[in-house]
Structure 1
Amino acid sequence: MASAPLHPLICADALDESKRARALAAFDLDSLHGAAALREITDFAAHLCGVPSGIVSILHTDHQTFLARTGLPDGPEPAREHSFCGHTMWGEGLTIVTDASTDPRFRDNPLVTGEMHLRFYAGAPLISDDGFPMGSLCVLDTVPRPEGLTPLQREGLTVLAANVLARLRDSREVARRRASVAEARNDAADSETRFRVLADTMPQMVWSTLPDGYHDYYNARWYDYTGMPEGSTDGEAWNGMFHPDDQERAWATWRHSLSTGDPYQIEYRLRHRDGTYRWVLGRALPIRDQDGAITRWFGTCTDIHAQKLAMEEREIVSQELSHRIKNIFSVVAGLVHLTGRTHPHMAGLLADLRLRITALGRAHDFVRPHSDQSRPVLRQDSLHGLLEELFVPYQSRPGERFVIAGEDVPVDDRAATPLALIFHELATNASKYGALSTAQGQISLTISREGEDVVLSWCERDGPIVSGAPVQHGFGSQLIEMSAARQLGGTVTHHWASSGLEVEVRVPAVALNRLTTT
């Protein structure tokens, strides 16, 4: 019987042996060589067709390989140019040779004329999903079979060939997974190498830990800085490198990050190779997988000893200057008091001046404390804190007469002085004429943002009934206007409601804090 025509999926380009070789290379053929599953197929194929031999043959560029054989002794496979399967795999459907000794294509083939004495051959092509011929599943006999195969045998051989293709397809998936794993490992190795090279060139100390915090890597800078032998600070031994006074704090901070996944940041003293302890800044961030689980921690240690000493020196100088300024406020207030005693007719005016100077001193000490003992409880840039400090002389406890609400806006030392003057004057006037002049009087001060402005709304209630705006404005009112407009670039609006004075102080946010951006 003649060979069938070429498989319709195979174009001329597909016949290129180099392309077919690349297609074969995608399969893990070595894992199938002698596989029991394929041997079961050749056994059943031979039994189904009533012949002694069955073969799964793969044709490479220059040789053929029997992945499984039944009824044939182990040994070298015949040369590719003598292979019957080389004809089968290029055809569509089965190739059946009833008597090879009379077939012009095969009668001179060594497999026919030689010791094998091949006469009957039936083969089903093995074509890959992308159309490349790979070989065949075939059955053989040493006697002719003029009747060929029955319809059941032909169908059975085709089904068994599909089973062989399924095994080949599985091997290709295994090969792909193995290649992906190998590529991932190579990529990881390359990444690790690049990371270590980069880390060793950095001036910072670089380290990493496992998810549980076990330190397993330090760069060269760490060992150079600490003078410790390589590997001697792995695990938890790193904590012993800290100053004894910092160990418990550093360990507690690190445990917190490990348990929560929060970034790690701390300043501590690290033992230098010369035996001294130097201040460093430690930072670390977790690396997470696609499910959010932490897979590693990467951290750095940066020597900040020089900056730390410089900051401490600046703090000492700043506190000394602040202390002297505080003394100046006290001296000036004392001089004003003495002047009032020697000039009784000016006593009222000088008393007001002394109170203003005292208010400025309180504001200055809030934003620039002269010692740790004078440092405020609230943040030194807190507008709420500054106002509460200014209102201390007017109430026995916070919130008794003044209620400060709304947003807490950051302020700096430059804005503290005009703010102190504005709200000292308002509080003083309230104690003389407004809500604070009665036992039940209350003042609410609400802070809000409107666009680029900060609005401070002063509202007096439960004081004397207000009959209207005053006919004349005194020095205090002028001082409020001057402080708001000239120093803060803002505006002041008064509303003389009968229930109590209402004042709106509106200033640009940038005037309150030099670090504020719009």
Structure 2
Amino acid sequence: MDHLDALKGEVAQYRFLVELDNLLRPILDPVEITLSAAQFLGQYLKVSRCAYADVEADQATLNLTGNYTNGVPSIVGRYNADTFGPEFVRLSLAGVPYVVEDAEIDERTADVRDSYRKAQIRAVVSVPIIKAGRFVAGMAVHQVVPRRWKADEISLIGMVAHRCWESIERNRIARELHESEAKFQTITNAMPQMVWTADASGLVDYHNDQLFDFAGVPRGTTSGDAWTNLVHPDDQQQAFKAWSQSVATGTPYETTYRVRHHSGEYRWTLARALPVRNGVGAIVKWMGTNTDIHSQKLAEQVLQETNARKDEFLAMLAHELRNPLAPISAASELLSISRSDDHQVQKATSIIRRQVGHMTGLIDELLDVSRVTRGLAQLENTLVDIKQVIAEAAEQVRPLMEKHGHQFSMNLSPESVFATGDHKRLVQVLSNLLDNAAKYTSPGGHITLTVSVSPGEIALSVSDDGIGMRPELLATVFDLFQQGERTADRAQGGLGIGLALVKSLIERHHGTVTANSAGPNLGSDFVIRLPRVIKASEEAPVTKPNSLTSTRRVLIVDDNIDAAHTLAMLLEVLGNQVAMDFHPEAALARSESEAFDVYLLDIGLPEIDGYELAHRLRSRQGNEKKVFVAITGYGQEQDRQQSAAAGFDYHLVKPVKADSLIELLNKLN
């Protein structure tokens, strides 16, 4: 019988708790929660009073809120815990229920009995709630008459107390979360970017208003993976792949893709996201933005197209300028080889060769600065003897210095000096600085090249006592097309691109170059600093051949008749047997009856270009191992790659120098 009664009590208690949960679930206000729970429990236990209290941080002050009464006054208010006796305080802090069956005879209430009488408390059960070791809340029931409390009643009071606290905390967290989300949405909606968040798995769970206004789609239609529907079809795979990679690795996300605008246009955006991690480093959220960069992207595309057109124009300009230079250069080479005794002829030949070289140098420099400043030029990466670089650079500029009577001195370190880089380019850099010093220093002036070294650095200084620079010129001296002051006759010449080339090349060598001048007519000083490599031995210099060791049968195909004739005359003087054709069809016809060791083909031929002609000629029986040389005004790296792909063995740029031809033909041995 007792067992059956106990079972009925458990069932009744279970039903009570279920109904209590249903009662509290929709309630949000903390006071209403405690009041409803106190009333429900008080009526169930048939007590005089039931109250819930929050405990302040000092664990000594109680705030009684939910207060059910039945025939006794309300005691809602703020109390010191010791109002209910020291034993109440001790047990509450220890997390133990405080149970009094009759306050009039219980020794524990002796010191506070008057307070109990005033509050009409004769019997009491108070159950504390302990969280993280602290007394944070409690629930108490009072009886106006003595009462023997049952264990299941004390247990039920504790369960109700905890349900109240949990409901209040849950609603507090939900309320704070709602307020935080509202604040977050207010902040993100005030931002110009499209802001979004995603969960740890990468599924997007929020977009601010900017995205919906931008795309013109209903709010809430871009969650999960649905955002990809707004991405341009050509960009979807790349965008989703980059996002998946970041989610998988936890690395920051950054990419660009086009998003459909409400106008129907796809606009470029920059997408970025960072992971939000918890205290143990696990990703709990992703915070991201999309920024409209459409105008910037279009501007970049226009700039790229402009640069491409500029490069095409420079290549075409160089080609068109080199074509007429080719026969002039070949003719001057021929005259110099002919050993004429006529002094005037030799003098004119010298002038022509010098001016052709100057013109060719200007063309090469113009193309070179375009490649180098955009990082397109390929640099060798070998051990370079800086003293050899200095010797070659000084030799190139020495004629100009001697012409102006300059006093040129060099202060070199006795140590061996090596760097890593491109020997030819470093000679070009140093000769440029020496050439500038010679151009801008008055006749009889002084130019000094000084080399100083430290364990990790090489410093090369080119100083002069020439015209110097104003501060405004000094600030822009390395800018493209920047030049010093010019006289009306432009005696110094040049295009104003040399120093821009110097700066770009030195930076490509992981070095720096600086310019200094005390002012006009006070000279200038340029200092190059390069990383130093310690190397004990020096490599032997390479010498160029200057004469042919054997002769060849050569076919020249060029629609520029003057260029073909002068090149043929030059090759014949060097001892070769030469034939010429001015049209590719004629060359194809000749190849059926004549055999040649070397084919020199112009690329820009009519009807059949040089690439196709080389392919057809090489396919003829017996020509498989013959040598094909492209002779063209196009000399950029992509032009060389294209000629190699077409089957050419060598690529020479007009105007072709005699030494270059001799060196090439000697290689064939």
> Aligning the two structures, in what range does the TM-score lie when normalised by the shorter sequence?
0.3 to 0.5
TM value normalised by structure 1: 0.47
> Scaled by the length of structure 2, what TM-score is found?
0.38
